[in-house]
Chain A
């Protein structure tokens, strides 16, 4: 299992996040026309470090793009993601430690080419994890 799979499962399994997005949890790209609200994740950076016990731990910065039908919905999703990752968890042996540095949420909504307004809240979290 890698970080992308672990995070996708973690978000899908979290009651707060899944109550909002169901199974609309994606890595890098979301399905066009796949419905809202939706969560898209991407890794923007990662550093792997060896511990004193010679294990390797990864420190990844993950960007969570929270799409919603309204400003309130996109922000509620961002806060649900933040809460879901605040404490350590495990997905089939893959450990996710509690999130560390946080950036946002930032409001990046825009009027799209089709004329409708796309509500998007962006949250970045630094997450340490097993490799």
Chain B
């Protein structure tokens, strides 16, 4: 090491440093250009998570290559570095098992594609829009505008519900009607409201299912299909229209009074 230092002179050192600087600069610019090109090529089919990952790999790879080349230019013996890196990597490997697991899970997620950037998913009770699918984690924006980071390992181990995978969704409206109610009339009202709602799909046809008898009455389930982009608006509209029609028909769904007798 000392022999190395004593054999150089300032002029040579200056030229060497300049060359190293140029290599690093070219490497930096090259990494930006290469990663940008890779991103543009891979994002054409809309698979943004794959394009983002590839951009980062290319960028990091080119920068590492440029860095190693610059270090080689400066006279560092890379074999020593690689040897040290081997030892360090073993130590890091033990310490970063979770990160490695997240990276591998991330690769599986990108290959399997249970969801994409822009989809709305529900995971562990959190629902939100997928912002990014990275090597280590996915990022969501919740509907109340919170940022949620979920490690990929968690995503792989947990049930994920993709609310926007298919073009249509079913609205389920549960209600319990008193036993004494005129059931055919209630069903007729529900069918009429569904039929009158333009955004409710004609097919699959709306249905009114009778769930069974409970202590409070008879359980009904109105199911109606909609374009998934109209899900919330139509669900709200159906509830309002049903409420209005039941009022017009003077159908009272409030639970009947119960008399409880106790003996002292």
Q: Do A and B originate from a single complex? A: no
